[in-house]
Amino acid sequence: MNISHLKSLTFLHQRSLNVNTMVLLLATYFAVLFNQPIIQKVYALSSYDLPLYFISHLLLLAAFVIIFSLLAWPYVFKIIFIPLVLSSALAFYASNKYNVMFDYTMIENIFETNSNESVSYINISSVSWFIVLGLLPALLLLKIKITYNGSLLKMLFMKAVLLCSSMLVILIIAVFYYKDYASIGRNNAYLNKMINPAHVYNTYKYIKKNYFNKAMPYSLLGQDATITSAKNSKPTLMVFVVGETARSQNIAYNGYQRNTNPYTENMGLISFKHVQTCGTATAVSLPCLFSNMNRPDYNKQKANNQDNVLDILSHAGVDVRWIDNDGGDKQVAKNLDKIDINKNDNSDLCNKHSCYDQVLLRQLPRLIAKQPGKDKLLALHLIGSHGPTYYQRYPQDKTLFKPACERSDIENCSDQEIVNVYDNSIAYTDYVLAETITLLKQYQEEYNVALFYLSDHGESLGENGLYLHGTPYVVAPDQQTHVPWFMWANEAYFTNKSLNKACLEQKAANDFVSHDNLFHTLLGFYGVETKQKNKDLDITYSCKA
């Protein structure tokens, strides 16, 4: 370090600012910079009313002055505001680049994201933004000495002046612009989720709910479950493929103009064309789709403390296993035998961050060979089309669409490159499904064989400026809430389970279904009877001979 660097650091160390000045500077930084996404949104919703654009900055500035003044006290000022600046810089990057909203669901998804998945978001762009907008201001704040107006009484008086002035500004704005903000706010309730740092409040809610709430007693469900014997008395072998980030819009079976299903197109899959998800992120959708709760009534804590449909199949005597390639089961497999893919044992299909989903198939022959003659369900949790590193989800020899976006900062790729790389990942999932069906056919002399595929949520690829997933459900686009659901079985399965395949194909083409149907439909398709099954939600019920 040279002499000039030492001098600059000494200057910063000796530099002091009054606490109220510091509050005004921080409030301005948050209002003018970190909340630019919500201001732009309000500006667009106001039909580009220019005065309202500038008034919105002033309104946020006054609000932040009030909030920050209440937090600005000796000994804790830097402890509070340095982490706030750092985390808000990250939130601003995500909001500005991908239109991410940090509501409770998004915070839940962040906390439950595995480290390998998190690494995929680190790139030159994100690191540069964080350093310039977060780290450097935080270091500056660390070096500056904060003064507090002398006596406690004077400090409180000056704080009161600042608070009253800010309240007066808000009152004046309300007098002249209340109708404008009321109209925009009532019709767009999601806007409050865009305010930075809303992530702090939702992080508090998540920690409180998950670590400080009283534990809920565990509920056993479906202990009366029994399997209805197939006509040929063969046991059932089903593979349930849990998809990741696949959206219905990019599925050839569902009308997409590209053939993203070239590997299974002649295998007789039944594709449900109108399927709605329980959530827009894995942390919500995965446990929800296996639970007996419908989306409006879903409660994660309850789901984690009761049996799900896989547990009920186990109660019926089915050997259920979970094999994971997506970094976690979100407690769906809490009572099951679970296998996590070991990257070191599969170096030809894995890198240091993730594995291609084909690696899951290596587990199947060994698991099928266990307990011969027993009913089985093997759940494969894919990494599927998880972004932003879509290019890491398929091997290069499975590239069908070019040019593909082969970088994690997808905002620097063209829309067509993003669609191409995403479609490649969808097509690779189709390849994995085709290989799974081919393997199942090898066992059809011993078992009635079948496959389910259902994705947890969809993905935005730049439509209306949105990328990735996790948008609050109330405003989430169809691309994030509509997903593919496939069923496949050999002819013997339909015959011996008394299922009408043509009836199911008709329902798949016309009926509007959702994750709510999975719990009951899986039981019905497998042939399990229990009081927990609701025939009105079992898609197969009306298709039984």
Over residues 482-507, the pLDDT tens digits come to 999 999 999 999 999 999 999 999 99
What is the per-residue pLDDT for 266?
Answer: 95
**pLDDT higher than 50, residue 1:** no
Mean of pLDDT values over 346-367: 91
User: In the structure, what pLDDT confidence band is assigned to residue 347 with cuts at 50, 70 and 90?
Assistant: confident
The DSSP bridge pattern shows strands 145-147 and 16-18 to be: parallel
CATH topology of domain 226-543: Alkaline Phosphatase, subunit A (3.40.720)
**pLDDT higher than 50, residue 254:** yes
**pLDDT higher than 60, residue 430:** yes
**pLDDT higher than 80, residue 532:** yes
The residues spanned by each domain of the chain are 3-211, 226-543
Across the chain, mean pLDDT equals: 91
**pLDDT higher than 60, residue 4:** no
pTM of structure:
0.84
CB 275 within 8 A of CB 513: yes
**pLDDT higher than 60, residue 8:** no
Mean of pLDDT values over 180-195: 80
Distance CA 45, CA 355 (A): 43
Segment 381-395, tens digit of pLDDT: 999 999 899 999 999
User: In the structure, what pLDDT confidence band is assigned to residue 343 with cuts at 50, 70 and 90?
Assistant: confident
Three-class DSSP category at 263: coil
User: In the structure, what pLDDT confidence band is assigned to residue 225 with cuts at 50, 70 and 90?
Assistant: very high
Distance CA 90, CA 137 (A): 13
196: left (phi over 0), alpha (psi -120 to 50) or beta: beta
What is the per-residue pLDDT for 486?
Answer: 98
What tokens appear for 136 in the block? 């450097």
More confident: 221 or 115: 221
Q: What is the CA radius of gyration of the chain?
A: 27
Q: How far is CA 376 from CA 118, 271, 448, in A?
A: 34, 23, 10
